[in-house]
Amino acid sequence: MGMSLIVKKVTQFVIGLIFLYGINIILFGHLGVGGGFAGGVILTCGFILIMLVFGREKAIQKMRTNVAHFLSCIGALAFLAIALLGYIDGTFFFNFIDHGKEFHLHSAGLIPFADIAISIIIVSAIFTIFVLLVFFGRFVGDAEEYENDEEYVGNIDRNL
CA angle 140, 152, 128 (to 5 degrees): 25
- One DSSP character per residue, 140-158 reads HHHHHHTTT-HHHHHHHHH
pTM above 0.75, yes or no: no
Task: Give the separation between CA 82 and CA 117, rounded to whole angstroms.
Answer: 9
* CA-based torsion, 100, 122, 34, 84: positive or negative: negative
Q: What integer pLDDT is reported at residue 17 of this predicted model? A: 96
129: DSSP letter: H
Domain boundaries along the sequence of the chain = 5-146
Q: What integer pLDDT is reported at residue 155 of this predicted model? A: 47
Q: What integer pLDDT is reported at residue 95 of this predicted model? A: 72
Identify the CA nearest to 122 among candidates 62, 154, 153, 79: 79
Q: What integer pLDDT is reported at residue 82 of this predicted model? A: 85
Task: Give the separation between CA 83 and CA 148, rounded to whole angstroms.
Answer: 55
The number of C-alpha atoms within 13 Å of 105 and in the hemisphere containing its C-beta is 7
Q: What integer pLDDT is reported at residue 45 of this predicted model? A: 92
Cα dist from 66 to 128, 131, 140, whole Å? 9, 12, 23
Q: What integer pLDDT is reported at residue 139 of this predicted model? A: 59
What are the per-10-residue average pLDDT scores of the chain (160 residues)? Answer: 84 94 89 86 91 79 78 90 79 71 70 89 89 71 52 45
Q: What integer pLDDT is reported at residue 157 of this predicted model? A: 42
Q: What integer pLDDT is reported at residue 14 of this predicted model? A: 95
